[in-house]
A and B are shown apart, each in its own frame.
Chain A
Amino acid sequence: ETGVTQSPTHLIKTRGQQVTLRCSSQSGHNTVSWYQQALGQGPQFIFQYYREEENGRGNFPPRFSGLQFPNYSSELNVNALELDDSALYLCASSFETGALSGNTIYFGEGSWLTVV
């Protein structure tokens, strides 16, 4: 158990719809990152939130947006869903941005999104 919880675990949406995925970070962690993992591939960085501000963004279009709340939980929103958005969406929490500092990054179990 990593202490990072994501919801929902599975969902099916229709092309053009909007989806919101949620992540509750580990207690004491102020940084949340989101990754997209297509089947058979490695995770791709979407963006990171640090103390409620976007701290960096990967190569994803603006229809991918996010929020981080005062309790450091986070949401990933995807508008105008496309078939290629079908993937496992992973949330990762850490303390003080994580990757560069060397602090351990903890991943949730992910949300499987299928777009039909």
Chain B
Amino acid sequence: SQQGEEDPQALSIQEGENATMNCSYKTSINNLQWYRQNSGRGLVHLILIRSNEREKHSGRLRVTLDTSKKSSSLLITASRAADTASYFCATVLNDYKLSFGAGTTVTVRA
């Protein structure tokens, strides 16, 4: 079973707009990571947020974590066509593996 669940499943936005996607998970985590996957290709690590952190930024990316609600959000500001991809959250419990959700597919229209 998957630990994380992304919402929405799909998102279509205009270039320049912001994109927000959410991730909910079921059990306590050590850290949560976000990845991007271009169509049918490998995953690219975007950002990691630890359980004792509430917010992190990396370039145009902003991630928040609310451990009381067991949820995280990824915000992409000023989106570009190159941001078109699937985005996955992955939780890390007390072990070595990543547990992925089903992902959010983002389409940025020119």
Contacts and interface: CB of A to CB of B under 8 A. Distances in A.
Contacts of A35: 98, 100
Interface stretch (B12-20, B40-48, B67-75, B77-85): B40-48
Interface string A93-110: 000011110101111111
Contacts of A109: 41-42
A105 B101 CA distance: 17
Nearest to A2: B42
A90 B42 CA distance: 7
B42 A99 contact: no
A42 B43 CA distance: 10
A100 B100 contact: no
Nearest to B94: A100
Contacts of B95: 56, 99-100
A31 to B, nearest CB: 8
Nearest to B1: A59
A96 B96 CA distance: 10
A100 B90 CA distance: 12
20 contacts: A2-B42, A33-B96, A35-B100, A42-B101, A42-B102, A43-B98, A44-B100, A45-B99, A50-B96, A55-B96, A56-B96, A99-B98, A100-B94, A102-B31, A102-B48, A105-B33, A107-B45, A109-B42, A110-B40, A110-B41
Interface of A: 2, 4, 31, 33, 35, 40-45, 48, 50, 55-56, 58, 88, 90, 92, 97-100, 102, 104-110, 112
Given A42-B88, A99-B33, A100-B94, 17 more contacts: A31-B96, A42-B4, A42-B90, A42-B101, A48-B96, A56-B95, A56-B96, A56-B97, A92-B98, A99-B98, A100-B96, A104-B45, A105-B45, A106-B45, A107-B35, A109-B42, A110-B41
